[in-house]
Structure 1
Amino acid sequence: MSIASPAHPDVAPAIPARASRWRADLLVTGIALVLAVWVTSGLWIDPNGRAIKVNSSDQALFEWLLSYGARAITHGENPFFTHLIGFPDGANLAVNTSITVYAVLFAPLTFLVGAPATFLVILTLNLVATAYAWFWLLSRHLVSAKLAAATGALFIAFAPSMVSHANAHLNWTAGWLVPIVVWRVLRLRDGRWLRDGAILGVLVAVAFSIAAEGLFFIALACLVFLGVWSLSKATRAEARAALPGVLRGLGVTAVVGFALLAYPIWMHFLGPQRFHGTGFDARVHSEDIAGYFAFPQRSLAGIAGLDTRLAPNETEENSFFGLPLVLLTIAAFWYLWRVAAPGRRATLRALGVTALVFAVLSWGPAVKIFKNYTDFPLPYALLNPLPVFNAALPQRLALVVTPIVGLLLALLVDARPRGRVWLAAFAVALVPILPVNLLTVAREPIPTFITSGNWTSVVPAGGVMATVPFTLDTVPDGQRWQAYAWTHGQGEFSLASGFYLGPGGPDGRGRIGPVPRYTDGMLYEVAQSGVVPPIGPAEQAQARADVAYWRVDALVLADRIHGSKWPVQHDALLTATRALFGPGERVDDVWVWRMSPHQR
């Protein structure tokens, strides 16, 4: 609330109110920046030399995407398809998380400091921007107290789900998209449907580029929330009056969004190397019901040993609020409902139904509790076969619940309930889930063979290199080498494999990397197990046929190889590759096997 001057009731408070508002903005942004740097501090020590321990593969992929996007705009290449990985078939980046907008906006920084540093800057700014965007929406439109807005915003930005996805997910940590898109959707009822619809269309295109799956969830959440809100008796007339303008605005949004996204959407659904549905099991990648009451690993409770490790992996703790916060959220809803007017109750009802719907859907096609799988069916089983749903992971639907919890906490603080019990409840609920910094690990350096540019003496311009083992999610070094070569102006080489989603999975679904042949499959097994299988003339002939298929100019085995999930067995790889292709030659700090023209 502002206090108007009697002499100039409409003008006098503007400067003090504006100054107070910006002071609050700066304070919240500063707190968010400190928290974001703290969470990512392990990488800031050495952006080029360290990686996120539990997800260094995705970090390498996003670094590659940033460097490829920067290269695409400077070389006039297709940002949604490339033959530089997965050669000769190529990779459809439109069905992957291409983060084109980030790649373009941060291209100067990528060329200046390299993709790893750019990755870290974006990851940190994502957390800060999420906090500020929610604070702006809450403080300007939803609550009156700045403390209430700050509480909700900082919780949402550093909730367990956001900290979990800060393990290298530049798409899911872009939580700032949610309040901006939601705000523009709500603005459609103001009557300026042409302008507001066009703005929303641009935002939809940006969100699709950064996090297409997240945009899908935002649309579903808006549909559920507005549907429930519109059916309430207290808001039915308001909804009916706003409906024509909203529909016109959405029509403009569709036209603008389609104009901007026509090509990437075509590539996504009809382009080469497309697939329909991921190869991930929806039962495995569903949220454990007990996960909503568990504590996350990277939190005060987690490092105290109270985490339960109920997620499929550490990057997917999409709820993990802890029992005290669940109880506080229920109590907040009860208190707010008790003191609310009919119109506010309609909003609370819509929030509650939306949270419940997405919580149940996040449980996947069948009940899973405390890692025990059952055959008891759930509603998601009906959605799983549908297009788009079959390409999403049900457990991530829990991400919609986090902002709703944050909104309820903000509304509760804004209602100023009396008594120390509420303050104690906030402390008990929120202190255990305060974030700690992400675990990081030293990453093997890029070989001198690459950094010196000597690779150009082995692989001709536009040629094909095969790393040993072939580049995949568990051994992503090849794409790091590519990114370095591009951003340092050395030129380009294609990889015979790569870490990306492509066709070839079961039932026409996707898989990671290309369908393996004998040579890359065998070398991968050797890298993991250290066991070299018998290799004779038949295996050598098959290896030569594989090399010819990939049109490989050279195979390269580095002295130090980064394994994102397990240690790479270097000596066994050297033995196996020599048995297939001969002794090889030493160039700087790598072993090289040049392929003669008749072999490729």
Structure 2
Amino acid sequence: MDVQAPESLDATNEEAPATPVRTGRARRLAWDLFAVVGYVAAAFGVTAGLWRDVHGTMLAALGGSDNALFEWFLAHAAHSVTAWENPLFAYSMNTPDGVNMMANTSVLGLGIPLTPVTLAFGPLVTFKILLVFAMAGTAWGWYFVLSRHLVTSRLAALVAGAFCGFAPGMISQSIGSHLQIATQILVPFIVWRVLRLREEGRAVRNGLILGLLITYQVFIGEEILLLTALTCGVVTLTYIAMRPRAALAVWRPFLGGLGVAAGVAFALLAYPLWFQFLGPMKYHGLPFEPERYYADLASFTAYARESWFGSDATAKGLAANVTEENTFYGWPMVILVPLAVAFLWRRRLAARLTGVAIVVFFILSLGSEVIINGHDSGLNGPWALLKRIPPFDLTMSTRLSLVLIPLVGVVLALLGDRLWGPRPLAPAVEPTEAELAGKHAAPVPTAAPVRTPWRPSDLVVRVVGTLAVVVAVAPAAPTDLSIIKPQPLPAFFTSGTWKDYLPEGTTVMPAPVPYSGAMDGARWVANTRMGFATPGGYFIIPTPDGEGAQFSSTPRPLSILLRQVNRSGKVPAITEADRRSAIEDLRYWNAGLIVLAPERTNAAPLQAALTELFGPPEQVQDVVLWRTAKLTGGA
């Protein structure tokens, strides 16, 4: 037999289950395996459309632009490994300036370990694998921590983990290809290790582990690390307010371990963070106004587009776009959570801490002005003050609502533990002051525990509570993600023919020059193992004056002209001045080839515009191209 106890996440509460629950190792491993298989199966079910044609489908949100961007991120990570180049900077896009990858959401912590997969199957397959991992891994991480350290019911942990990995907000971020947001597998372990800092005599070990987790999370997503830190801060302050004596008893090991964690993280992250904030192509601020992204109060009771009870109609006008539907829980969940917190308030300290945090982040997510169903209520939120303070000035208030997902998951775990867990064993002795202060992982009774008797009302509570959980969770469950079929990758690139046409040391200019609305050129780069560089792209770089930030490269006359043709399908009058400036742009980009894929949208007017500028093209395999040597005066 094996002894498994809910550990220190709730051990400071005298009314929490205080006696270890004896479970067989085989049974515990069976639950763990079931959780892995179940979560992975669910993730494959949600992404089923992407796997029907592995190389020919991508996520539909925003026209697939972010999907293509993350293909390039993953290809860059693999290239940096095989070419032994600095992964913190990329030269393959935005030529001649390049891109600071530490200052972008490049998910190096995911892309570098999967380099063999990217090299073998391409970055699009790697992206899809990571999307499954993001959902299933996040769910399993929460299941593991909750089942080991908070609740005794494996079923409760299983349901809570599923919610944490597949909640509407997580699915919304997955739809947007935001791997840096959707991949939260380290978050529950970071939270757990923060709580373990209370242990006496283990400051170095606990701090070292936490520091390593923080470091790795930076290379997955800094924004999620910030949200995790804010949550831990709110919970810690609430704990101090509720249990000042217990907090006072553990402040030394806690701060000691925190200091060790900060030292480890600083030592490991000093150069990457210097590179991010002071290195080449650094930027200041954001290329958009963060205040535009807030949580509409009415969205909390609505259902997201990609949920069972959701549709375009239920979510219309309640979020900036489909990738930021972070707060769509539905009325049943909005009613269940506060009732569950109230029901558990006296029994579990974790419920009290979580309930306070839910209120705090709910209010903060509303932004500076409270908007209800798209209309200004006239009420100001506390964000109006916080938005002026770093790092809140660079934070979208709607992203703070993502904190609510694991907090609601914890409430579901605690409620499920009460509903589906074994009858609590009453300890034969009261916990000591040291145990209440968190100096032990869990109070251990010195005499045989006594099982509390069943009452008829217990069955009623279990049945009603279970139905309430089902009614609250099921409607918000995800449907399969919307997909599109992108333009096929030209054989000119996939076969390697481009190598015979591109002069050494020059770049390829895709038509149109890559930007957020036309990322096919970025996919060409990503799927040729970064064999060449291109101008343009979709990322965050500094403005020309270096004082701000912008998406994509500063438009030049040729890129502006081709972007207009791509959007309108019409060719403007081409003047001699246009031809001269176009030649100058080719020289600036050191372009050796101009390449157009005839299958893309508005290819005909694009070809017509380029022909007027540079003369007739050559047809090579499935592309048309212009060699620029004679145009620019090259060899």
Query: What TM-score results when the alignment is normalised by the length of structure 2?
Result: 0.87
Q: Which residue of 2 aligns with 1:297?
A: 305
The structure with more radius of gyration? 2
Partner Cα distance (1:84, 1:365) in 2:
40
Partner Cα distance (2:476, 2:546) in 1:
41
Residue 272 (structure 1) aligned to one of 280, 292, 300? 280
Partner Cα distance (1:408, 1:427) in 2:
14
Partner Cα distance (1:446, 1:391) in 2:
36
Instruction: Return the offset for 1:297.
Output: 0.7
Q: Which residue of 2 aligns with 1:365?
A: 368
Q: What letter corresponds to residue 27 of structure 1 in structure 2? A: F
1:143-158 equivalence runs, <5 A? 143-158=151-166
Q: Does residue 174 of structure 1 match 2:207?
A: no
- Say whether the 8 Å CA contact 1:461–1:493 is kept in structure 2: no
Q: Does residue 209 of structure 1 match 2:219?
A: yes
1:573-592 equivalence runs, <5 A? 573-592=606-625
Q: Does residue 48 of structure 1 match 2:55?
A: yes
Instruction: Return the offset for 1:131.
Output: 1.4
Residue 46 (structure 2) aligned to one of 35, 39, 49? 39
- Say whether the 8 Å CA contact 1:276–1:391 is kept in structure 2: no
- Say whether the 8 Å CA contact 2:36–2:136 is kept in structure 1: yes
Residue 410 (structure 1) aligned to one of 410, 413, 419? 413
Residue 474 (structure 1) aligned to one of 489, 510, 517? 517
1:425-444 equivalence runs, <5 A? 425-444=468-487
Q: 1:373/1:525 Cα in 2 relative to 1: closer, same or farther (>3 Å)?
A: farther
Write out per-residue CA displacement over residues 379-401 of structure 1, whole angstroms, 9 at most, x where no aligned residue: 22323243333333221110000
Partner SS for 1:577? helix
Q: How large is the Cα RMSD of the aligned pairs?
A: 2.2
Write out per-residue CA displacement over residues 265-288 of structure 1, whole angstroms, 9 at most, x where no aligned residue: 012111121112212222321111
Partner SS for 1:465? strand
- Say whether the 8 Å CA contact 1:277–1:387 is kept in structure 2: no
Q: 1:3/1:52 Cα in 2 relative to 1: closer, same or farther (>3 Å)?
A: closer
Q: 1:392/1:247 Cα in 2 relative to 1: closer, same or farther (>3 Å)?
A: same
Q: Which residue of 1 aligns with 2:334?
A: 326
Instruction: Return the offset for 1:3.
Output: 8.7
Write out per-residue CA displacement over residues 283-326 of structure 1, whole angstroms, 9 at most, x where no aligned residue: 32111111111101111101596444511111111110111101
Q: What letter corresponds to residue 628 of structure 2 in structure 1? A: M
Q: What letter corresponds to residue 611 of structure 2 in structure 1? A: R
Q: What letter corresponds to residue 577 of structure 1 in structure 2? A: L
Instruction: Return the offset for 1:377.
Output: 3.1
Partner Cα distance (1:319, 1:146) in 2:
27
Partner Cα distance (1:388, 1:471) in 2:
31
Write out per-residue CA displacement over residues 550-577 of structure 1, whole angstroms, 9 at most, x where no aligned residue: 111111111123xxxxxx3221111111
Partner Cα distance (1:139, 1:592) in 2:
59
Instruction: Return the offset for 1:460.
Output: 2.6
Instruction: Return the offset for 1:540.
Output: 0.9
Q: Does residue 76 of structure 1 match 2:64?
A: no
Q: 1:509/1:363 Cα in 2 relative to 1: closer, same or farther (>3 Å)?
A: farther
Instruction: Return the offset for 1:473.
Output: 1.9
- Say whether the 8 Å CA contact 1:294–1:307 is kept in structure 2: yes
- Say whether the 8 Å CA contact 1:276–1:390 is kept in structure 2: no
Q: Does residue 395 of structure 1 match 2:398?
A: yes
Residue 449 (structure 1) aligned to one of 464, 483, 492? 492
Instruction: Return the offset for 1:238.
Output: 1.7
Partner Cα distance (1:178, 1:514) in 2:
34
Partner Cα distance (2:3, 2:58) in 1:
51
Instruction: Return the offset for 1:458.
Output: 2.1
Partner Cα distance (2:368, 2:108) in 1:
32
Instruction: Return the offset for 1:373.
Output: 4.4
Residue 97 (structure 1) aligned to one of 100, 105, 110? 105
Q: Which residue of 1 aligns with 2:555?
A: 516
Q: 1:506/1:240 Cα in 2 relative to 1: closer, same or farther (>3 Å)?
A: farther
Partner Cα distance (1:110, 1:391) in 2:
32
Q: Which residue of 1 aligns with 2:28?
A: 21
Partner Cα distance (1:36, 1:260) in 2:
33
Partner Cα distance (2:324, 2:483) in 1:
17
Q: Which residue of 2 aligns with 1:564?
A: none
> Which segment is superposed worse, 401-410 or 390-399?
390-399
Instruction: Return the offset for 1:264.
Output: 1.5
1:53-64 equivalence runs, <5 A? 53-55=60-62, 56-64=64-72
Partner Cα distance (1:22, 1:127) in 2:
21
Q: Does residue 285 of structure 1 match 2:293?
A: yes
Write out per-residue CA displacement over residues 454-476 of structure 1, whole angstroms, 9 at most, x where no aligned residue: 11122234421111011122211
Q: 1:178/1:446 Cα in 2 relative to 1: closer, same or farther (>3 Å)?
A: same
Q: Which residue of 2 aligns with 1:459?
A: 502
Q: Does residue 126 of structure 1 match 2:134?
A: yes
Partner Cα distance (1:382, 1:224) in 2:
17
Write out per-residue CA displacement over residues 323-361 of structure 1, whole angstroms, 9 at most, x where no aligned residue: 110101111011111x42xxx34x333212211221222
Q: 1:199/1:461 Cα in 2 relative to 1: closer, same or farther (>3 Å)?
A: farther
Partner SS for 1:485? coil
Partner SS for 2:323? coil
> Which segment is superposed worse, 582-591 or 104-113?
582-591
Partner Cα distance (1:546, 1:387) in 2:
39
Instruction: Return the offset for 1:440.
Output: 0.8
Partner SS for 1:495? coil
- Say whether the 8 Å CA contact 2:3–2:22 is kept in structure 1: no
Q: What letter corresponds to residue 363 of structure 1 in structure 2? A: L
Q: Which residue of 2 aligns with 1:559?
A: 598
Partner Cα distance (2:574, 2:112) in 1:
47
Instruction: Return the offset for 1:478.
Output: 1.3
Query: What TM-score results when the alignment is normalised by the length of structure 1?
Result: 0.92
1:175-324 equivalence runs, <5 A? 175-191=184-200, 192-232=202-242, 235-303=243-311, 306-324=314-332
Partner Cα distance (2:560, 2:252) in 1:
58
Partner SS for 1:554? strand
- Say whether the 8 Å CA contact 2:21–2:152 is kept in structure 1: no
Q: 1:88/1:31 Cα in 2 relative to 1: closer, same or farther (>3 Å)?
A: same
Structure 2 residue ranges without an equivalent (≥5): 5-19, 420-457
Q: What letter corresponds to residue 573 of structure 1 in structure 2? A: L
Partner Cα distance (1:599, 1:285) in 2:
48
- Say whether the 8 Å CA contact 1:336–1:412 is kept in structure 2: yes
Partner SS for 1:387? coil
Partner Cα distance (1:202, 1:282) in 2:
30
Q: 1:580/1:3 Cα in 2 relative to 1: closer, same or farther (>3 Å)?
A: closer
Partner Cα distance (1:382, 1:506) in 2:
29
Q: Which residue of 1 aligns with 2:541?
A: 502
1:488-499 equivalence runs, <5 A? 492-499=531-538
Q: 1:146/1:75 Cα in 2 relative to 1: closer, same or farther (>3 Å)?
A: same
> Which segment is superposed worse, 410-419 or 293-302?
410-419
> Which segment is superposed worse, 582-591 or 84-93?
582-591
Q: 1:280/1:369 Cα in 2 relative to 1: closer, same or farther (>3 Å)?
A: farther
Q: Does residue 593 of structure 1 match 2:626?
A: yes
Q: What letter corresponds to residue 410 of structure 1 in structure 2? A: A
Q: How many residues align?
A: 575
- Say whether the 8 Å CA contact 1:301–1:307 is kept in structure 2: no
Partner SS for 1:165? helix
Write out per-residue CA displacement over residues 386-443 of structure 1, whole angstroms, 9 at most, x where no aligned residue: 3333333221110000111111111112122643332332232122112110011112
Instruction: Return the offset for 1:16.
Output: 5.8
Partner Cα distance (1:458, 1:388) in 2:
48
Q: 1:450/1:373 Cα in 2 relative to 1: closer, same or farther (>3 Å)?
A: farther
